[in-house]
Structure 1
Amino acid sequence: MLGTRHSSRAALALTVIGAVLAPVSPAFAADPPRVDLRADVNRDGRVDVTGATDTADEDTWSARRGAVLLPNIDDDTKRCPVKGANGRPLSDAKLAACNDAADSKVNGSADAADLARVRSVPMTNLPATASGTLKVVKGGSKTRVFVKRSTGWTQVTATTRLTAAELRSGVEFGVEGRDVIRDSTVWDGRAVIRLTVASGGHSTSDDVTLRVAPLLTHHHLQKAQQLLVTKVKGKDQFARQQQAFVKGLAAEVASAGIGKPLLTFDKYGDIWAQDFVEPGYVSMTGPDGRRQAIRVMLRSAQADREAGRELFEKLRGNGVGVVQVSGVRDSEEWTLNSMGNLETIPPHSYGGRSFPAGRIIMGERKDNGSKPARAMRTLLKSQGFQDPLLLDTSWLHVGHVDEFVQFLPADTPRGWKIGIADPEAGLRLLREAKAAGHGRTRMFSVPGARGLPAPKETIDQALASKWLVKDNTMAAQGIKANLEILKRETGVTDAEVVRVPALYTRGTGDEEQGNRMPRLTRMGAGKAPDAVREYGQQKELARHADGAAARESVMTSAYVPGAVNGIVLGDNRYLAPRQWGPVIGGKDIFTSAVNAAYSGAGMKVSYLDDWYTYHLGAGEVHCGTNTLRDASAPWWRP
């Protein structure tokens, strides 16, 4: 009887609430199902659905913690065309419109390594009538989500339904970004993903937040992996000289232990490979726990610079994407938008600010208010990690920061030093040589080339120039002011500064330097005209000269090939332009001084002749090359 009465009470209870409980399990009777969506918040490559390592801060994002997704802008299967159906080259806009994130498929490898993973915690007691939906509630236009099923990856749309069986087992999603952050006031890179599960008239949801990986530029503590250079076709004088430069560069790269061969630009004849592109990268920890990176070739904000098209036509592919900016205004000075005007301070912390991936520097002209293109500066700042620091390059003709400053790996607590051009040291070398009775020694030891006369001025004549001392006094003042900014921003001390002898000149065929060849300037771009290929008699190639020729009288370029305008090939290997300075006692006095400066910083220097190829164009070895560096280190750690 007792058992009967108990059974009757139970039956009565079911009668009262049976309409609610009858279709569902006991776990669902008391509460709606608990949805738990998780992402790789701690960035270890694994979405933890059994423990708690990925639960804290899943709805926030910071430099150190928060799930990361990649802007999937490479072209894994090389499907993106470079020509239209009519066989004509595509426009820049159409070239840039195609990448892996431009379609609704998972391109490339079956493991979908470019997709960030998001998982749902298995809902084991879920009734068979339950279903789920997934929605990107923030950043939806910039984000695409796929669901992994037995048939492969399928795009999640508004009509996608997740079955109860899937939710019981736990669902795996893959997320890709459709672009990099371009303006954080428009989109800050965050994507909020919401999983909603409904059953029996109830529904519950859970959100996770991801942010697209920042587009970062390389710094010199990252190992050099491959060098880029333009290879000019033809058999004329300039082409042969430039081809010799490329051959010499290949030998230096191999000697430095860099295994990959040179990657050459061959189509457009723009020799300034440093200037039409800045190599960068985006990365996250992939699903296998290894770093998953996409190289991003950041095209210069110079829409009329054809060489940038070859980034799409030749480089874009598996693991390599290209970004170009739009909206550049005519009023923004053309030369400042070259990427030689963008360098990166290595990682550092100082004054309460931390830059674990380094910090960008760019040059501006404070004399007339010109800055690099606002669209580019906005893009770089919007990444939130390498806040660009502007230096004053008004005193330089071309106006690029690589003409006077660099950053060198060093065995110091900081891990690096600043290399800085030192015009006062350059003048001192000449004055000491003159005082020692060598004033009649030729200023330059470079030989003539194929009918082109070698410069004939002597040390005495150089020092007697009414401009040389004035130019270098001005240059020294400009460099000192910029160095003070760098020291103030980074905490670098004088002991961490490597001063490299240098000399600058306005070099425009001044009557007292009549043997100096007219300059073919680095401000130019595109295919070099015949006159230029004959070493040129034009002083200006830039389409937007903006009165630059008139300004030449008060702006400078390197007189002796600028040693700081070289390439860091390794922790202790440096490639500088051959100095061709005065030879006294069988030694080039500038080469000896440059060797001493770099050896004091633990660097072994080798030299490459760029006199007739780059130096006379107001650039050096660095300006004519570019470097792909290792991007495997996590950018979120100091």
Structure 2
Amino acid sequence: MTSTYHRTCRLDTDIPQRVVLVIGTSLKANLNRSAPPSSKFFSVKCTPNVQYRITPPPQDISHLSPIPLNGNSVLFISMGHASQNENDSKLSVRYYGENKEALGRAVLHLTAVEISLDVDADRDGIVEKNNPNKGSWKWGPDGHGAIVLVNCDSERTYLKKPDSEQDNISRVSDLKDMSLMVLRTRGPARLPEGYKLTMHISQGDAESVRVFRSGSPEVLNNTLRNLYNIFVKGYPLVLSSEVLSQEVPYLGGTAEMNFYVEGLRFPDKDFDGLISINLSLLEPICAGLPETPIFTDKVVFRVAPWIMTPNTLQPVEVFVCSTSDNYQFLKGMKNLVAKSGYKLKICHEYVNRGDRWMQDELEFGYIDSPHQRFPVVLDSPRDGELQDFPYEELLGPDFGYVTRVAHRKDVSSLDSFGNLEVSPPVIVDGKKFPLGRIIIGVAFPTATKGRNMTKVVQDFLWAQKVQEPIALFSDWLLVGHVDEFMTFVPAPDRKGFRLLLASPDAGYKLFRGLQNNGHGQAKLFDGLKDEEPLTVDEILNNKSLQAENNYVQSCIDWNRDVLKRELGLDDDDIIDLPILFKLVRGEQKEQDEEDEDEDEEEEEQEYRAVAYYPDMVNMIVLGKNLGIPKPFGPKVNGRCALEAEMCSLMEGLGLSCTFIDDFASYHKLLGEVHCGSNVRREPFEFKWWNLE
């Protein structure tokens, strides 16, 4: 608190006043208002620890002579250091009449205290003393403002729930997930009678934060202790949605008291992430009347956003499901992950209950602050048979959980998280996105009807601010996920990555090249059980299929233009993959959705696209190793032409291609390798609070 804060003080010539003054502030007394009638002059005396000044400054008057009293004469009083004892300093004002006869004397007995509510406002992991910027937030490397994490992990592993949903601190280790706030005081052993310190927050902020403190629970009364059961290991709850204001102890002498601030919810449409916590010194007026605040110190926290991780970041562990029919897929994934040197975690059938779509159920991200960082899984509102996996299997110590609940009728296939991706870092027209940009799929902007990602999820994603989302058109697909036509892979040059796009045009170009080279009778799906082989000539002669792929290419091109514009990409940053699609009739249903009103007439269903053969863009990226759906394309000289083209395109970037057979267990069920897997990755080195 700076000395620019002046507190109005009333002088009384009848009764000596006992006043507490906070170092760094001053008292402001209107001398004329307090003067006895007929007063014309005044003088001021004080003890050594007291400083004062008068405005307007007296002119040509000896310091021993009384000063003329003007209608606007104001006395400013401050103190240089904290008192050792109560009322150990003194200031007096004498008033005089026309002939300088004494008319009255106002006496202030002063007690000086230092009070500072401190946080890590410069974001270096240390709570510095009285940072002048602690009461505001500013983005950027030269910014300021403290950071608090949503305490969404669980120190408990039995009957667990997120720590922020518990009414106490179950383990001292939980404190490291909270932000330290320190109350520093210096002054006499106790405050003058009736004065007290109180910490308080607004009702709005109380929904988003709680404050605990270290120390003995005996300082709080029995009613609170019994009502909230808040004392665990000596860390009583100070502020919450039920307790907006709480007296905190004044310890006396030179003292520090630690408080622990816990975030309860992420930024969202109705919450900008900013929280203020106040500490006030209250002054008594008289018995039976409420105290009044005479000093308030304020600190501001911003809740850390949830951050997604792109394919270019280093993997930590890979997640897949084991089902009764995905042995081939699982075998390929095990080999790929082992070769890449990462951990593979298999969700067994008794947990997944036949739901194999690991990508669709959840998205991995993390939260970060100067003092703590941990992964946080975002659980989709899809809620298939895997719905318990993120909570039951992932939530734990230093592994957080967050979800957004939507009305079941509002949830569509577009709410599965194959429809949620994030780009690597980009620069767009000079604007930096060092954490990349979130990408979601929605209905076409001009569509009168169509499927969209549910509003509660979109609101959550936009509110995080640090990865400004991009909306693509994905409702043209039967399943409707952006990962069906795009992904990112690391690259050693240009922007550090390439955008891979599915391209029917590239597919037809490849097949025509095969035909021109005399391979028109080479067959797709050759040797695949229960699949009718198709020759290159048959594909190229299918005019209906060509028309359908022209439509698909136009949809992808629309997204291509959006991605180029929103990510600042050139054509050289994009690689087209030879993938064909076909249109089928019907709208993708969640597999656990029940038919409603069977007697109701079937609504007219639209044609939407699915991959004609395994969709190679729907891959898993593990460093330089790519796990790609095995396309079962036409063989030339014993080698699949689609695999050969894919290897040619990727190996130029130093990437290794592994083709995984997912045909029966995923492709036939309208998904691929990416849909059936998920990757937790290392966080960004870049700190989100340094975002310009």
TM-score by length of 2: 0.74
Q: Which moved more, 1:355-364 or 1:164-173?
A: 164-173
Residue 36 of structure 1: which of 116, 131, 144 is its match? 116
Q: Which amino acid aligns with 2:201?
A: V
Q: Is the 8 A contact 1:349 1:490 kept in 2?
A: yes
Q: Return closer, same or farther for 1:446/1:274 CA change in 2, 3 Å cut-off.
A: farther
1:577 and 2:629 correspond: yes
Q: Distance in 2 between matches of 1:486 and 1:469?
A: 25
Report the equivalent of 1:339.
Answer: 417
Change (3 A) 1:486 1:543: farther
Inter-CA distance 438–300: structure 2 relative to 1 (3 Å threshold) = same
CA contact (8 A) 1:38 1:55 kept: no
Structure 1 residue matching 2:353: 3-state secondary structure: coil
Q: How does 1:523-562 map to 2 (within 5 A)?
A: 523-526=589-592, 551=605, 554-562=607-615
Task: Provide the residue aligned with 1:348 in structure 2.
Answer: 426
Structure 2 vs 1, CA of residues 172 and 283 (structure 1 numbering), >3 Å: closer, same or farther?
Answer: same
TM-fit CA distance, 1:560: 2.4
Which aligned pairs between 1:84-233 and structure 2 lie closer than 5 A?
Answer: 98-110=161-173, 112-124=175-187, 127-129=190-192, 131-137=196-202, 139-149=205-215, 152-157=234-239, 158=243, 160-165=246-251, 168-183=254-269, 186-198=270-282, 203-232=294-323
The alpha carbon displacement at 1:458 in A equals 1.2
Residue in structure 1 matched with residue 670 of structure 2 by the alignment: 618
Check the 8 A contact 2:362/2:380 in 1, yes or no. Answer: yes
- Once structures 1 and 2 are overlaid, which stretch shifts more, 174-183 or 481-490? 174-183
The code of the aligned residue for 2:264 comes to R
Residue of structure 1 in register with 2:355 after alignment: 270
Q: What is the aligned partner in structure 2 of residue 48 from structure 1?
A: 128
Q: Number of aligned residue pairs: give it.
A: 559
543-552 or 102-111: bigger deviation = 543-552
Contact 2:506 2:579 in 1 (8 A): yes
Equivalent in the alignment of 1:375: 456
Cα 1:19–1:261 shift into 2, 3 Å: closer
Query: What CA deviation, in whole Å up to 9, does each residue of 1:489-521 have, x standing for no partner?
Result: 12111111122221112267xxxxxxxxxx9x9
Counterpart residue number, 1:24:
87
Q: 1:113 to 1:503 in 2, by over 3 A?
A: same
Amino acid at match of 1:339: F
Letter in 1 for 2:274: R
Counterpart-to-counterpart distance in 2, 1:199 and 1:79: 47
Q: Are the structure 2 counterparts of residues 19 and 282 from structure 1 closer, same or farther at C-alpha, using a change threshold of 3 Å?
A: closer
Instruction: Give SS of 2:564's match.
Output: helix
User: Does the CA contact (< 8 Å) of 2:155 and 2:174 recur in 1?
Assistant: no
The separation in 1 between residues aligned to 2:590 and 2:296, in whole angstroms, is 57
- SS of the aligned residue for 1:483 comes to helix
Residue matched to 1:567: 620
Give the partner amino acid of 2:365: G
Kindly report which structure 2 residues correspond to 1:159-558, keeping only aligned pairs within 5 A, or say none. Answer: 160-165=246-251, 168-183=254-269, 186-198=270-282, 203-232=294-323, 239=324, 241-259=325-343, 261-262=345-346, 264=348, 266-286=351-371, 291-293=372-374, 295-303=375-383, 305-328=384-407, 330=409, 332=410, 334-351=412-429, 353-366=431-444, 367=447, 368-412=449-493, 414-448=495-529, 453-506=530-583, 523-526=589-592, 551=605, 554-558=607-611
Long gaps (5+) in structure 1: 1-13, 82-97, 233-238, 509-518, 527-540
What is the CA distance between 1:549 and its match in structure 2?
9.9
Question: Any conservation in 2 of the 1:35–1:205 contact (CA below 8 Å)?
Answer: no
Aligned equivalents of 1:412, 1:26: Cα separation in 2: 71
Partner Cα separation in structure 2 for residue 61 and residue 637 of structure 1: 9
Distance 1:270 1:35, change over 3 A: same
Identity of aligned residues (%): 27
Inter-partner Cα distance in structure 2 for 1:547 and 1:209? 57
Of Structure 1 and Structure 2, the greater strand share is in 2
Distance 2:602 2:526 in 1: 30
Distance 1:242 1:375 in 2: 34
User: SS state of the match for residue 616, structure 1?
Assistant: helix
Q: 1:247 to 1:364 in 2, by over 3 A?
A: same
The superposition leaves residues 545-570 of structure 1 with CA deviations (integer Å, 9 ceiling, x where unpaired) of 99999646x32111121111001111
Looking at structure 2, the residues matched to 19 and 424 of structure 1 have their Cα atoms a distance apart, in angstroms, of 86
Name the larger-Rg structure.
2
Q: Does the residue aligned with 2:177 lie in a helix, a strand or coil?
A: coil
Q: Is the CA contact (8 Å cut-off) linking 2:321 and 2:348 kept in structure 1? A: yes
Contact 1:195 1:206 in 2 (8 A): yes
Q: Secondary structure of the equivalent of 1:161? A: strand
Are residues 181 and 268 of structure 1, via their aligned partners in 2, closer, same or farther at CA, if it must alter by over 3 Å?
farther
SS in 1 for 2:369: strand
Work out whether residues 73 and 322 of structure 1, in 8 Å CA contact, stay in contact via their aligned partners in 2. yes
Secondary structure of 2:572's counterpart equals helix
CA distance in 2, matches of 1:474, 1:576: 25
Q: 1:167 to 1:433 in 2, by over 3 A?
A: farther
